[in-house]
Structure 1
Amino acid sequence: MNTKVYRTRFYYVLFALFCMFIFFLGSTIVMKYFKDDVKPIADYGESVEVFSFEKHDRIDKSEILLKIISTSNSSMSAFLKGEKGIDINLYELIRKNLRDTLNIDNYIKAQFPAIFTLTDGKISTPISKDKDIKVSKDDNLDIQQLEDLIFVEDLMESEEGEFFQENEIKSENLNLEGIPVAQNIKKLEINKEKPYVLIYHTHGTEAYLPVVQNTCHTIEKKYNVLTIGDIVSESLENNGHGVVHITTYHDSPSYNGSYTRSLNTIKNAIGNDENLKVVFDIHRDGIPENASYKSKAVKQSKTVIDGKDVATFSIVIGPDSPNVDEVLKFAKYIKSVSDTLYPGLCKGIIIKPSGKFNQFVSNYYALIEIGSNLNTIEEAQESAKLVGKILSVVIDKVQE
């Protein structure tokens, strides 16, 4: 298959070179005859200025190029939308965006993935094996190939986004147990005799301390979010909820295409069992080493509950999904229950600049980031136990 791909690319390159040759040959011929036929402007009589522009009114080439870049690149588009009244300087603007918001190596890998498919794994980062690893069937990989994975952070997810601000819950909205009432959320209709909660991981390799290599990714399950998903699943099951936990790694062999692969997985699962109506994609947050907000992130990374250090969690919303309003209501309810049971555990709801994050598969969907690469696996495990209890209460309250 690789031989066929390389041959096809060779033909594309050859065709492109041929087109370039024809273009330059034609340009040369046209310019030759044009120069022979041209006459000085003075020979045509008095010239008249048809359009008159002041210098500052002329279209800036940099402005045109910026519009092209922002249209073709989601990261630059999100950055430009946040810059108000900026004095356009193309070099400074791009330099600021790349310096402050992007890891250059990861950016290049993400924008030009085809380059790395031609390197036969020479530009790769070896990672440890894990006997529990599962690989997405879409990848059709041999297990030994997993030694040569390239982890590229999801650029859309790495954009900070904005915390959703909501008013405090009024006391009259609380029931006798002190838990907020699930307002404006359609009641969940399920068969309680069958599983109805689906937990999966778009980025299953996301890991916690002490893992620091490979930009904090590993397929060693005891250190990554698959273990966190196990704990949340167990907590839900102990509280009487039927759960299906999918432990497929969708970010292998790279992050590129993770959401497409995970979407195929959950569509297949839901297609085979329509009773799976509550969906949780469990991640951990990723804080770049040189992030300008790192000191703030460190302070917010954990809290103390019952004398234990516990990783905080947040809920991520993609604004481009058609059911974003329903998903946001569900997220707000999860946060309100968390604030009631464990104040300070939920950092908040983060609305990203763009994206869907597969949330359109269900109105009872939440992308939950439990901890970050600043947390230890133990802190994340303690958090997962509490998140499981929170989600159990939420599901109880939204059921018929």
Structure 2
Amino acid sequence: MWVKTQKTRVDYLIFALLCMLIFFVGSTIVMKFVKNNKKNLAYKNLDNEEAIEAFSQGKDILKNKEKVFSAILSNSNSSMGLHFKENTKNKEDISFNIKENISQIFNVDDYIKSQFPAAFTFLEKEKGISMKVMTKIVSKDKEKPEILEDIVFIDDIMEKEEGKLLEDDSKLSKKDKEGIPAAEGIKTFKVNKEEPYIAIYHTHGTEAYLPIKENQYHTQDKKYNVLTIGEIMANNLEKNGHKVLHIETFHDIPSYNKSYAKSLNTITSKMEEQQNLKVVFDVHRDGVSDNANYKNKAFSQSKVNIDGKDVATFSLVIGPESPNKDEVLKFAKYIKQVSDSLYPGLCKGIIVKPKGKFNQFVSDHSALIEVGSNLNTIEEAMESGNKIGEILSIVIENIQE
């Protein structure tokens, strides 16, 4: 889950951009109306005094009505001025026709950047948001929404909050003869073992691992993102006799900010269709900003060595505003207890966020699992997926009736 910032500021910015586009459309309509007015322009006042030259193109340009409109737009609109300056060497040869040449004369990138230079300087420097990407989103075809490869990722502020790391109380639990903690105080469930009763899905399916670095470590290439980790976990669970439904929908495309709303719709629909689904896992990866002051510490905690292999660590995240928070927390604690008994250090801990539900209210046996981070390679995350699948298999087996 990549950390999101300045959501409100960006919302206002996008609203301002839309207002500017509306203003431009209105101005072009006015210009066209004036152009079609057959009345001659008066260049002398009532006293027959000589008109004052208004534009740097010279007096002769006033003889050509097409050039007049070009000059008006060039001087009154900074984007038009930028276009004429960069693309027209001879100002005398300017010819303007809104209807036929609008796409050549008006460049959305230039227009927006000229109107909001300070805003985009901030976004490009502080948040790494590309000017080209932003204008692609503003100007996309309404009838055929474009699924962008280079999505602008502005993370959810709920996920930015560090949250509280719970203290480890696994030593207080009773263990069986093999050292596996007993499932104490956790609701059990009964299922038809011939049909899927475990669902794995991904609210942020494009979250990726190294070597992917582009687009703030996001990609649609399954080979490098969390969909592969979910598949490995599902295969491991299936191998141990469990029935699993793995949902490979990208809920963070094209709108990252609506990811949770879309994934909630998906998982609730599946649970209505297949009422045997009782256990739900939302698989993510954590995100560490390139300029984070805790990056070195995060890297040192990003993996453990198990049987000679580097394995990405994982965390469990709790939404405190979920109405079934207590049950979800018990479930997460038991997952960590089993993980600690099998692979000490693999689970970094349970993090209770300051706010949010994270769709965990869909089931008392729901868990948001962050497998590794953008500091891990896909190979390290895959090793972790195998281990987590083994852990979850034992957890689920021990809480079934």
Task: Confirm or deny a common fold (TM above 0.5).
Answer: yes
* AA matched with 1:243: V
Q: Tell me, in whole angstroms, the C-alpha distance in 2 between the residues paired with 1:104 and 1:321.
A: 23
Does residue 1:108 correspond to 2:9, yes or no? yes
Gapped runs of 5+ residues in structure 2? Answer: 22-126, 128-141
Match of 1:191 in 2: 192
Does residue 1:268 correspond to 2:269, yes or no? yes
Does residue 1:217 correspond to 2:218, yes or no? yes
SS in 2 for 1:350: strand
- Counterparts in 2 of 1:228 and 1:119: CA distance versus 1, 3 Å: farther
Match of 1:375 in 2: 376
Match of 1:167 in 2: 169
Q: Tell me, in whole angstroms, the C-alpha distance in 2 between the residues paired with 1:119 and 1:188.
A: 56
Q: Tell me, in whole angstroms, the C-alpha distance in 2 between the residues paired with 1:236 and 1:212.
A: 30
Per-residue CA deviations over 1:24-45 (Å, capped at 9, x if unaligned) read: xxxxxxxxxxxxxxxxxxxxxx
SS in 2 for 1:166: coil
Q: Percent identity?
A: 59
- Counterparts in 2 of 1:148 and 1:381: CA distance versus 1, 3 Å: closer
Check whether the contact 1:199–1:280 (CA below 8 A) recurs between aligned residues: yes
- Counterparts in 2 of 1:110 and 1:328: CA distance versus 1, 3 Å: farther
Deviation at 1:374, TM superposition (A): 0.5
* TM-score, length-scaled by structure 2: 0.66
Match of 1:89 in 2: none
1:250-261 matches, cutoff 5 A: 250-261=251-262
Check whether the contact 2:3–2:287 (CA below 8 A) recurs between aligned residues: no
Deviation at 1:160, TM superposition (A): 1.1
Check whether the contact 2:203–2:259 (CA below 8 A) recurs between aligned residues: yes
- Counterparts in 2 of 1:334 and 1:117: CA distance versus 1, 3 Å: farther
- Counterparts in 2 of 1:170 and 1:369: CA distance versus 1, 3 Å: same
* Equivalent pairs, count: 281
Match of 2:182 in 1: 181
Match of 2:160 in 1: 158
Check whether the contact 1:152–1:254 (CA below 8 A) recurs between aligned residues: no
* AA matched with 1:161: G
Deviation at 1:254, TM superposition (A): 2.5
* AA matched with 2:10: K
Q: Tell me, in whole angstroms, the C-alpha distance in 1 between the residues paired with 2:198 and 2:3.
A: 35
Q: Tell me, in whole angstroms, the C-alpha distance in 2 between the residues paired with 1:231 and 1:118.
A: 47
Per-residue CA deviations over 1:112-151 (Å, capped at 9, x if unaligned) read: 555677899xxxx9xxxxxxxxxxxxxx996853335222
**Aligned mate of 1:149, from 131, 148, 151:** 151
* AA matched with 1:264: N
Does residue 1:242 correspond to 2:234, yes or no? no
Q: Tell me, in whole angstroms, the C-alpha distance in 2 between the residues paired with 1:119 and 1:209.
A: 39
* AA matched with 1:351: V
* AA matched with 2:222: K
- Counterparts in 2 of 1:113 and 1:275: CA distance versus 1, 3 Å: farther
Deviation at 1:334, TM superposition (A): 0.0
Q: Tell me, in whole angstroms, the C-alpha distance in 2 between the residues paired with 1:369 and 1:251.
A: 16
Q: Tell me, in whole angstroms, the C-alpha distance in 1 between the residues paired with 2:18 and 2:265.
A: 23
Per-residue CA deviations over 1:59-111 (Å, capped at 9, x if unaligned) read: xxxxxxxxxxxxxxxxxxxxxxxxxxxxxxxxxxxxxxxxxx98767663366
* AA matched with 2:249: T
Per-residue CA deviations over 1:288-334 (Å, capped at 9, x if unaligned) read: 11222222111110010000000000000010000000000000000
SS in 2 for 1:235: helix
* TM-score, length-scaled by structure 1: 0.66
Check whether the contact 2:319–2:357 (CA below 8 A) recurs between aligned residues: yes
Q: Tell me, in whole angstroms, the C-alpha distance in 2 between the residues paired with 1:119 and 1:220.
A: 36
Match of 1:277 in 2: 278
Q: Tell me, in whole angstroms, the C-alpha distance in 2 between the residues paired with 1:391 and 1:238.
A: 12
Q: Tell me, in whole angstroms, the C-alpha distance in 2 between the residues paired with 1:389 and 1:141.
A: 46
Q: Tell me, in whole angstroms, the C-alpha distance in 1 between the residues paired with 2:275 and 2:293.
A: 44
Q: Tell me, in whole angstroms, the C-alpha distance in 1 between the residues paired with 2:19 and 2:191.
A: 48
Check whether the contact 1:110–1:256 (CA below 8 A) recurs between aligned residues: no
SS in 2 for 1:199: strand
1:1-400 matches, cutoff 5 A: 108-109=9-10, 114=15, 145-147=147-149, 149-170=151-172, 173-400=174-401
Check whether the contact 1:158–1:286 (CA below 8 A) recurs between aligned residues: no
Check whether the contact 1:200–1:246 (CA below 8 A) recurs between aligned residues: yes
Match of 2:100 in 1: none
Q: Tell me, in whole angstroms, the C-alpha distance in 2 between the residues paired with 1:230 and 1:201.
A: 11
Match of 2:56 in 1: none
- Structure showing greater radius of gyration is 2
* AA matched with 1:373: N
Match of 1:4 in 2: none
SS in 2 for 1:146: coil
Deviation at 1:213, TM superposition (A): 1.1
Q: Tell me, in whole angstroms, the C-alpha distance in 1 between the residues paired with 2:375 and 2:344.
A: 21
Per-residue CA deviations over 1:41-60 (Å, capped at 9, x if unaligned) read: xxxxxxxxxxxxxxxxxxxx
- Identify which range, 310-319 or 157-166, moves more after superposition: 157-166
Q: Tell me, in whole angstroms, the C-alpha distance in 1 between the residues paired with 2:20 and 2:241.
A: 50
Check whether the contact 2:147–2:253 (CA below 8 A) recurs between aligned residues: no
Per-residue CA deviations over 1:189-248 (Å, capped at 9, x if unaligned) read: 111111000000000000001111111111111110001111001000011100000000
Q: Tell me, in whole angstroms, the C-alpha distance in 1 between the residues paired with 2:369 and 2:257.
A: 20
- Counterparts in 2 of 1:118 and 1:368: CA distance versus 1, 3 Å: farther
SS in 2 for 1:389: helix
* AA matched with 1:231: I
Check whether the contact 1:109–1:116 (CA below 8 A) recurs between aligned residues: no
- Identify which range, 365-374 or 287-296, moves more after superposition: 287-296
Q: Tell me, in whole angstroms, the C-alpha distance in 2 between the residues paired with 1:288 and 1:155.
A: 14
- Counterparts in 2 of 1:118 and 1:278: CA distance versus 1, 3 Å: farther
* AA matched with 2:357: K
Q: Tell me, in whole angstroms, the C-alpha distance in 2 between the residues paired with 1:267 and 1:208.
A: 28
